[in-house]
Amino acid sequence: MLPILKSFLDMLEAEKGYSKHTIVAYKNDINDYINYLHERDSKVEMTDELFLELIRQDYKNIARDYIAHIASSGIKKSSISRKLSALKSFFNNLVRGGVIELNPADRVPMPKSPRKIPDFLTVDDIFFLLDSIEADSLFGKRNLAIIETFYSTGMRISEMAALNFDDIDFDRRFIKILSGKGGKDRVVPVGERALNAILQYRYTLGHRFTPLFLNKNLTRLTDRSMRRILEKIVNDCSLKMHVSPHTLRHSFATHMLDAGADLRGIQEILGHANLSTTQIYTHVTIDKLMEVYDKAHPRS
């Protein structure tokens, strides 16, 4: 990794508070661009000096040609947008540091793509999923507590994995979350069923541990392990669709909107920086809206 890239990644962690997953994504996307320049324009070892020289030599086309190159490979527009966004941020950092005068990626427009409406489960599907979990054993109780908490709070999987037992206020029914995006704390409500499932799990565990959810070695359960747990639960109950932790997050937001929750409130609970991110859930509730319209309007 070039020192100039490492410096940028260190800034993202120290100043922006980005999660490890986000930083790795930036690293991979920008490294892809650096490797493209190296293969196209040089056969010698890439250095900071050579990288900056290549940029200055072909300022007008250096980013545009790369985006055209990866677009021709057939990757998704969303992936192109992510890679271009990473480049724009990287170059902006170099401009702020006085390393280069202009950002060459500013000349490249973001590809337009329709916003994907997120998948979500119906309320009946959620109840079927939860009822299928056998909570007779310690880890059965743990798995039920995990899925109940996912659906009750709509939090991200990285946030779930980072939870500690002391983050939960059982009396006031709140959970304090340190977000993986930007490192901002927020407090979200949590339902009684999720709290009871957590207490049942921890009571059976019988020992005081700081992490909320533990693996068989009694250390913190990782988000990867949580994904595997959810995948197994879905496969075991024969639910006929792909269900990810994000599906549960989408289901939480959709069901809250269907029940009349305020969009701003959902934005706060989900930890979205912009309301426009939360507004995508208004699209997935259109069927509910049409159902109400058909029943209520005299000329429908």
Reply yes or no on whether 264 is catalytic: no
* Residue type for position 12: L
d(CA 255, CA 43): 56
Which of 18, 33, 201, 281 is the catalytic position? 281
Which of 82, 176, 186, 246 is the catalytic position? 246
Reply yes or no on whether 156 is catalytic: yes
**Cα dist. 258→147, 171, 265, 268, 283 in Å?**
21, 28, 14, 17, 11
Which of 27, 173, 272, 288 is the catalytic position? 272
Cβ atoms of 208 and 214 within 8 Å: the answer is no
Reply yes or no on whether 272 is catalytic: yes
| Segment 29-35 long-range contacts (CB within 8 Å, at least 24 positions apart) | 29/82, 29/83, 29/86, 29/87, 30/5, 30/86, 30/87, 30/90, 31/1, 31/5, 32/70, 32/83, 33/66, 33/83, 33/87, 34/2, 34/5
Residues 207-243: b if buried by 16+ CB within 10 A, e if exposed? eeeeebbbeeeeebbebeebeebbeebbeeeebeeeb
Query: CB count, 10 Å around CB of 191?
Result: 14
Which of 83, 249, 250, 255 is the catalytic position? 249
Reply yes or no on whether 76 is catalytic: no
Reply yes or no on whether 246 is catalytic: yes
Structure tokens at 11: 């800034």
Alpha carbon 144 to chain centroid, angstroms: 22
**Cα dist. 43→55, 126, 157 in Å?**
16, 55, 42
Which of 16, 173, 176, 181 is the catalytic position? 181
Which of 156, 202, 250, 255 is the catalytic position? 156
Relative to beta strand 174-178, strand 185-189 is: antiparallel
What residues are labeled active site? 156, 181, 246, 249, 272, 281
